[in-house]
């Protein structure tokens, strides 16, 4: 990836998420307020993406990672070399046309990027030639996990939460490893914030981001609305998962590589019950995995000796039961305008998954009572 330096240096603010930390709100605010940003000498370019800068994340990935990445597979892209040439040409033209002294980029997909991608980002920053300010938000890992599951189901995931969570999360949730990896970017400023409302400037995510990014703008001048809670209830998430299975088994879709936006919009319009989570003891064990890395982050990036996060785990209006009663299908068929020709196959899948979840629950109950007897 040849990156010749430009004649006029351009500063870069790079926001890398992490995901599920208000990134959509931040990106919408940046997109909706070009005049305010221009007054601060900044540009939020369109070349990398209309809202989220997905194409920047793709541009800096090496070819072997790029062609396997979900954003590449679901996009309408040419070969990597042609994509990169066009990206550079359009971005250079956009920056030159804006006459800005700084550019703001935002892509939460970069948070878990590997070392090679970070090195390529360093070359990209060198090409711009100005100062680099790196901004990252961190969220409690257990809250992030269950929120992330909602997101992946909306994007075509087919496995239940209890199965999905049993994967290697080091590259995502070892925050010390993530932050020290990104130090290789050698930013002039590395700003790490915790996604906790009572720690934010004026209790506002937008105010806090403006401060973290060093953007000299008054929040009152910005056009924005902070997004309401977009979490769906456990029943709605299970309905989406069943529809995902149908699309994989009957339409040849690939898990995790298709969206459900039109269904999600309709599901948000109606109450869908408590939000899906995992049992408290399981989440406790999950958090214990990251206790030492979190303490190191608190010490090295915040100068603190206590715990990294002080907000409690979200536990109100939640359930650990991931099951859809097949008798509820007619309600969702009507709500989501599911074609009648699909009903029979979806019913079979729903009944199969309900039986499977019931067996899982029964096994979990037996293990629980066995542990209780052993403790006596």
- In whole angstroms, give the CA distance from residue 342 to residue 246: 9
What is the DSSP-derived secondary structure letter of residue 185? G
Quote the pLDDT of residue 370: 59
Quote the pLDDT of residue 279: 96
Q: CATH classification of 10-140+170-221 is 3.40.50, yes or no?
A: yes
- In whole angstroms, give the CA distance from residue 134 to residue 191: 6
**Model-level pTM greater than 0.85?**
yes
Quote the pLDDT of residue 311: 92
Quote the pLDDT of residue 230: 76
- In whole angstroms, give the CA distance from residue 19 to residue 57: 13
pLDDT along the chain (376 residues), means of 10: 67 97 96 96 98 98 96 92 97 97 98 98 98 99 97 97 97 98 97 98 96 94 70 97 98 96 95 96 98 98 96 93 96 98 98 85 58 63
- In whole angstroms, give the CA distance from residue 105 to residue 3: 18
For residue 103, report the phi and psi dihedrals to the nearest 5 degrees: -125, 140
Answer whether 65's CB lies under 8 Å from 117's CB: yes
Domain range list for the chain: 10-140+170-221
Quote the pLDDT of residue 229: 54
Quote the pLDDT of residue 371: 61
**CA dihedral for 93, 98, 102, 104, sign (positive or negative):** negative
Quote the pLDDT of residue 96: 96
User: Is 330 in a helix, a strand, or coil?
Assistant: helix
What is the DSSP-derived secondary structure letter of residue 140? -
């Amino acid at each position: 990836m040849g990156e010749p330096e430009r004649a006029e240096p351009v500063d870069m603010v790079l926001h890398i998420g992490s995901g599920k930390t208000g990134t959509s709100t931040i990106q919408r605010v940046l997109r909706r307020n070009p005049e305010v940003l221009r007054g601060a000498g900044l540009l939020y370019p369109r070349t990398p993406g209309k809202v989220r800068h997905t194409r920047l994340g793709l541009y800096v990935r090496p070819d072997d990672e790029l062609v396997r990445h979900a954003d590449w597979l679901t996009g309408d892209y040419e070969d990597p070399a042609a994509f990169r040439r066009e990206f550079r040409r359009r971005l250079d033209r956009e920056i030159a046309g804006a006459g800005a002294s700084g550019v703001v980029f935002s892509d939460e997909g970069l948070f878990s990027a590997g070392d090679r991608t970070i090195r390529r980002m360093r070359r990209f920053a060198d090409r711009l030639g100005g100062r680099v300010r790196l901004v990252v938000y961190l969220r409690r890992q257990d809250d992030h996990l269950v929120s992330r599951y909602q997101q992946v189901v909306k994007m075509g995931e087919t496995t239940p939460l209890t199965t999905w969570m049993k994967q290697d999360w080091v590259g995502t949730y070892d925050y010390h490893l993530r932050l020290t990896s990104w130090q290789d970017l050698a930013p002039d400023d590395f700003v790490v914030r915790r996604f906790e409302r009572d720690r934010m400037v004026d209790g506002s995510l937008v105010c806090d981001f403006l401060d973290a990014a060093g953007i000299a703008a008054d929040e009152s001048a910005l056009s924005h609305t902070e997004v309401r809670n977009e979490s769906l209830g456990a029943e709605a998430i299970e309905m989406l998962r069943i529809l995902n299975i149908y699309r994989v088994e009957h339409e040849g879709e690939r898990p995790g590589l298709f969206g459900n936006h039109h269904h999600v919009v309709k599901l948000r319009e109606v109450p869908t019950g408590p939000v899906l989570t995992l049992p408290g003891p399981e989440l406790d064990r999950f958090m214990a995995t990251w206790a030492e890395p979190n303490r190191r982050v608190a010490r090295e990036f915040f100068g603190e000796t206590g715990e990294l996060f002080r907000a409690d785990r979200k536990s109100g209006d939640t359930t650990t039961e991931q099951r859809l009663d097949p008798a509820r299908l007619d309600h969702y068929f009507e709500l989501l305008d599911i074609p009648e020709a699909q009903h029979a196959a979806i019913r079979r899948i729903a009944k199969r998954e309900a039986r499977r979840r019931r067996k899982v629950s029964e096994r979990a109950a037996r293990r629980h009572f066995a542990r209780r007897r052993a403790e006596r």
